[in-house]
Amino acid sequence: MISVVLPVYNEAESLSLFVAQLRDVLVEIGEPYEIVLVNDGSKDHSFKVILDICESDPNSKFVNLSRNFGHQIAISAGVDFASGDAIVLMDSDGQDPPAEIKNLYKKLKEGYDVVYAKRISRGKEGFIKKWTAKIFYNTMDRITSIPIPMDVGDFRILTKKVVEALRKMPEKQRYLRGQIAWLGFKQTYIEYHREDRTTGDTKYTYRKMIRLALDGITSFSNWPLRLATISGFVCAFIGFLLILYTLYSRYVLQDYEPGWASLMITLVFIGGIQLIGIGIIGEYIGRINENVKNRPLYVVDETNIERAQN
Ligand code: UDP
Ligand code: MG
């Protein structure tokens, strides 16, 4: 059976049309299927639309989260409730074309465990979105030790094996494309053209985007921590040279002034560096704290799915 996990946040306008298209593709593939619609605390009538969809199609199921938990957590919830042998993750806004599922599935059948869809074009997305995404993926590639594929979102197909491993990852900062890369198994990709959104605007506000970027970086790289250490060493070294010079000019050259300016500059500089260091450490401690609390990742309000194993 193929499960398709769809996170839904304020997509009421285009959702039923999208699910209809998706269903056509799944029927064409000819395997049994289920569609798991995760309502991520939508503020419009998306949930009503989801209920209508589920009523008209016994293969569609819903998970209604108690509030907006964010895209990555919504997908994680869907993955927990999906019971297929192959699980497709995709956006519900029409940007990931359902027709590509055929290609993903075909590739999976060749014996892969993860087939992700690589964007060779990104539709009419804004200049800033494309540009920030590019910078982010490049930086990630440079500072992480596991290769996380570039220009790849969450659109992909996974075997049950991978999904079971994924469910065992308890971290609260979800960065699924990183986590799945970390898991390993046999991975490959297909290429596709990302479509435009059918209606509405991106639900990824800048705040959510920055959050995702920070979660990705801190979950898969200790490089920022190392940066704090390195800059600390560099400062200490410059300070040491400065001390030597001061002593030299004081005792050898006998040339010295009460150095108000240099003192202030040094103080401010060191102070700045320390604050940066503390800030970076704070980022990590915040996340440690988050994990220590060990709260459930999400809370389900209601669902018509019997909970999958583990
Ligand atoms: N989404 C979600 N919760 C959120 C934000 C987005 O479930 O807090 C869903 C949204 O409905 C869509 C998918 O995640 O199906 C991708 O979001 P969006 O299209 O806004 O992101 P973009 O394609 O602009 O990166
Ligand atoms: Mg989108």
pLDDT tens digits, residue range 23-75? 999 999 999 999 999 999 999 999 999 999 999 999 999 999 999 999 999 99
**pTM score:** 0.79
244/242 Cα distance (integer angstroms): 5
- Closest-CA residue, ligand 1 atom 3, reads 71
d(CA 104, CA 306): 27
Nearest CA to ligand 1 atom 25: 204
What's the pLDDT tens digit per position in 202-252? 778 888 888 888 888 888 877 777 777 777 778 777 777 877 877 787 788
> Which-ligand-closest: CA of 12?
1
Alpha helices (H) along the chain: 12-29, 46-56, 71-81, 100-109, 127-143, 160-167, 176-183, 206-220, 223-247, 260-293
Instruction: Measure 93 CA to ligand 1 centroid, in angstroms.
Output: 7
Q: What mean pLDDT, rounded, does the chain reach?
A: 85
Domain boundaries defined on the chain: 2-203, 223-293
Whose alpha carbon is nearest atom 2 of ligand 1?
71
Atom of ligand 1 nearest to the CA of 41: 3
- The rounded Å distance from CA 199 to ligand 2 centre is 10
> In the predicted model, is pLDDT for residue 309 greater than 60?
no
Q: Which CATH class is domain 2-203?
A: alpha beta
